[in-house]
């Protein structure tokens, strides 16, 4: 029986291979697929609780094997040895008579002589027993001496041939009897082998019938499991939608309560300018809940955003030494991933954003954040008071006139040596500029890096670095074609999807 060298079976791999066959359809399987797949199915369903496969998965009768080698005894008979054949006989003769394994040369020599019938088993046993080494050990072998002398005599010239003829004539009746007996024995063995083969064939047929039945059951189970998986996926989508709606409803309730409170204060008197302004301002927050859900869907996970932002840590940390650890302001801080990363590195940072729900989330996780318009908030700050101002995917939301105002105010509040970092989608990548940029309906226009660098220099910033970020994985890029073609296509379609302007105040 073949034994598996691995102590455990990979159940998931078995299931995967079964599913591949089931996915081919419900048509008739080929014999090869049917045999292999049904065996794998039975193996899967027969796995025990500890993850091992039982050895009696399909038990078949075995034909007895020949004996391998003789054991050690104090004395032997000739019959103890002649039952072994070929190499097993040579090893048994050495082990029994000389008490050791044969050396390679002797083993090959005697084995070749046996194959070409130049020597008999009795002669080999006699040569070993009556050699110098054999006489020294003197292991008794009953019934060996007489046949060894007779067979050795047969090797003598002339006399040996005469003795062989005489002996053959005397043994002729015995030879005929033995031949008939051998034929009868062979016929009996043949019948037993046919019977054994028929039994094995029946066992195999029964085993495969059982395996096919198990495969049908498992197929139904897999189909049921697939249906359950689809239901679970739909439930996850529904739960996500319920969560988004819950946030939206809570926000609507809060704003409605505020409106009712303001109305209660003034009725029956007319609304004041301040109250009307407050009511109109609420219109700006109608889509707050929607944008939170949008960010969760399309921007990426919190950990992904934090990982991408680590590229800016060395820049900010270097500036802190120049500006005496002046505070950092993140405009459009959103869900606060960059603020959280700065806090983890013990840097003094504050965020500002118009989205009330995002600000509430930042405050809930212990971040310093303020609900306000970025430009209006920066105008309240003193000149030369900040070490860095950052904005991740914010400038593409701002009209050009306001954007120049933002740059002017950022330059004013930065300390000499301070840095402004603005990250935005990179339209040099055609897929981004023509498609992905417009995923967000609040985006205005793509902003190419070179013109944006010129604008910041024109507003008074000193050295400006353009840092291109987030290209596609190399495995997704074009691999075929000329080097020039691959270079152009990979740059335009698979190049950096974002870039950052890193501008310093001289």
Cα 31–Cα 36–Cα 41 angle in degrees, nearest 5: 125
DSSP label at 71? P
Does residue 37 fall inside a structural domain?
no
Predicted confidence at residue 493, as pLDDT, reads 93
- Whether pLDDT at 128 is above 80: yes
Q: Which two tokens stand for residue 45?
A: 């369903």
Among the listed ranges 14-23, 244-253, 332-341, which one has the minimum average pLDDT value?
14-23
Q: Look at residues 286, 284, 287 and name the one whose alpha carbon lies nearest to residue 295.
A: 287
- CATH code for the domain in which residue 490 is found: 3.40.50.150
| 269 vs 251: CA distance, rounded Å | 28
Instruction: Classify the phi-psi angles of 481: left when phi > 0, otherwise alpha if psi is within -120 to 50, otherwise beta.
Output: left
| 489 vs 482: CA distance, rounded Å | 11
Q: Which residue has the tokens 């008074």?
A: 460
Largest Cα span, the chain: 149
- For the chain, what is the total number of helices (H) and then of strands (E)? 20, 9
| 317 vs 427: CA distance, rounded Å | 29
Regarding predicted confidence, which is higher, 390 or 221? 390
Q: Give the residue numbers spanning the domain of 446.
A: 296-504
Does residue 306 fall inside a structural domain?
yes
Packing angle, helices 86-93 and 121-129, rounded to 10: 20
DSSP one-letter string for 133-150: HHHHH---EET-HHHHHH
How much of the chain, in percent, has pLDDT values that exceed 70? 78
Contact status, residue 461 vs residue 407, Cβ threshold 8 Å: yes
Predicted confidence at residue 367, as pLDDT, reads 96
Does residue 164 fall inside a structural domain?
no
Predicted confidence at residue 260, as pLDDT, reads 65
Does residue 242 fall inside a structural domain?
no
Q: What is the mean pLDDT of the chain?
A: 82
The alpha carbon of residue 209 and the mean position of all alpha carbons in its chain are separated, in whole angstroms, by 35
| 193 vs 196: CA distance, rounded Å | 5
DSSP label at 498? E
Predicted confidence at residue 192, as pLDDT, reads 84
Predicted confidence at residue 276, as pLDDT, reads 56
Cα separations (Å) of 232 from 16, 225, 482?
A: 20, 10, 47
Rounded mean pLDDT, 3-9 = 45
Predicted confidence at residue 264, as pLDDT, reads 64
Predicted confidence at residue 332, as pLDDT, reads 94
| 28 vs 13: CA distance, rounded Å | 23
pLDDT, tens only, 41-95: 454 454 444 444 444 444 555 555 555 788 888 899 988 898 888 889 999 999 9
Predicted confidence at residue 164, as pLDDT, reads 61
| 262 vs 256: CA distance, rounded Å | 10
Residue 152: CB atoms within 10 Å: 15
Torsion of CA 100, 104, 107, 110, to 10 degrees: -130
Helical spans, DSSP H, in 310-393:
313-322, 337-344, 356-364, 374-379
Contact status, residue 470 vs residue 389, Cβ threshold 8 Å: no
Predicted confidence at residue 7, as pLDDT, reads 45
pLDDT, tens only, 372-389: 999 999 999 999 999 999
Predicted confidence at residue 17, as pLDDT, reads 61
pLDDT, tens only, 151-201: 777 676 666 566 666 666 776 787 777 777 777 878 888 888 888 888 888
Q: Is the peptide bond before 268 cis (omega within 30 degrees of 0)?
A: yes
Does residue 283 fall inside a structural domain?
no
- Whether pLDDT at 246 is above 90: no
What confidence tier does 307 reach under pLDDT thresholds 50, 70, 90?
very high
Decide the pairing of beta strands 414-425 and 369-371: unpaired
Q: Which residue has the tokens 């004996």?
A: 67
Does residue 452 fall inside a structural domain?
yes
Domain count, the chain: 1
| Buried b / exposed e along 181-194 (16+ C-beta atoms within 10 A) | eeeeeeeeeeeeee
Cα separations (Å) of 10 from 7, 51, 222?
A: 10, 8, 18
Does residue 100 fall inside a structural domain?
no
Contact status, residue 501 vs residue 453, Cβ threshold 8 Å: yes
Q: Look at residues 38, 31, 30 and name the one whose alpha carbon lies nearest to residue 57.
A: 38
Does residue 357 fall inside a structural domain?
yes
Predicted confidence at residue 57, as pLDDT, reads 46
């Amino acid at each position: 029986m073949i034994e598996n060298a691995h102590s455990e079976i990979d159940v998931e791999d078995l299931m995967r291979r079964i599913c591949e066959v089931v996915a081919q359809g419900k048509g008739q399987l080929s014999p090869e697929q049917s045999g292999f797949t049904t065996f794998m199915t039975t193996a899967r369903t027969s796995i025990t609780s500890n993850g091992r496969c039982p050895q009696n998965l399909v038990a078949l009768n075995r034909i007895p094997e020949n004996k391998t080698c003789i054991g050690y005894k104090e004395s032997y008979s000739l019959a103890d040895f002649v039952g072994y054949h070929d190499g097993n006989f040579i090893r048994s003769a050495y082990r029994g008579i000389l008490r050791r394994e044969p050396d390679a040369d002797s083993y090959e020599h005697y084995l070749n002589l046996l194959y070409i019938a130049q020597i008999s088993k009795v002669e080999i046993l006699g040569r070993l027993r009556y050699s110098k080494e054999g006489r020294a050990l003197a292991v008794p072998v009953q019934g060996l001496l007489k046949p060894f002398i007779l067979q050795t005599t047969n090797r003598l010239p002339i006399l040996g041939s005469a003795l062989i003829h005489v002996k053959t004539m005397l043994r002729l009746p015995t030879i005929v009897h033995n031949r008939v007996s051998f034929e009868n024995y062979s016929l009996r063995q043949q019948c037993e082998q046919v019977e054994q083969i028929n039994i094995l064939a029946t066992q195999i047929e029964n085993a495969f019938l059982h395996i096919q039945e198990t495969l049908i059951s498992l197929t139904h189970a897999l189909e049921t499991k697939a249906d359950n998986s689809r239901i679970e996926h739909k439930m996850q989508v529904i739960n996500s939608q319920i969560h988004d709606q819950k946030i939206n409803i809570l926000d609507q309730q809060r704003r409605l309560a505020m409106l009712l409170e303001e109305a209660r204060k003034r009725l029956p008197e007319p609304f004041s300018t301040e109250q009307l302004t407050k009511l109109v301002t609420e219109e700006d927050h109608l889509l707050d809940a929607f944008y939170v859900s949008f960010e969760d869907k399309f921007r990426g996970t919190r950990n992904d955003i934090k990982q991408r932002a680590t590229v800016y840590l060395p820049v900010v940390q270097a500036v802190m030494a120049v500006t005496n650890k002046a505070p950092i302001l993140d405009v459009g801080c959103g869900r606060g991933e960059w603020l959280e990363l700065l806090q983890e590195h013990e840097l003094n940072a504050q965020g500002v954003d118009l989205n009330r729900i995002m600000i509430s989330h930042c405050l809930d996780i212990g971040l310093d954040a303020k609900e306000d318009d970025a430009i209006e908030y920066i105008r309240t700050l003193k000149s030369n008071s900040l070490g860095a101002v950052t904005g991740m995917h914010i400038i593409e939301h701002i009209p050009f006139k306001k954007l120049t105002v933002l740059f002017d105010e950022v330059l004013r509040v930065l300390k000499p040596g301070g840095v402004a970092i603005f990250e935005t989608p990179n339209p040099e990548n055609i897929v981004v500029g023509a498609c992905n940029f417009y995923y967000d309906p609040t985006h205005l226009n793509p902003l190419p890096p070179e013109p944006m660098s010129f604008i910041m220099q024109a507003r008074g910033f000193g050295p400006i670095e353009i840092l291109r970020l987030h290209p596609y994985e190399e495995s997704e890029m074009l691999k075929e074609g000329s080097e020039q073609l691959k270079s152009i296509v990979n740059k335009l379609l698979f190049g950096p999807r974002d870039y950052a302007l890193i501008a310093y105040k001289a």
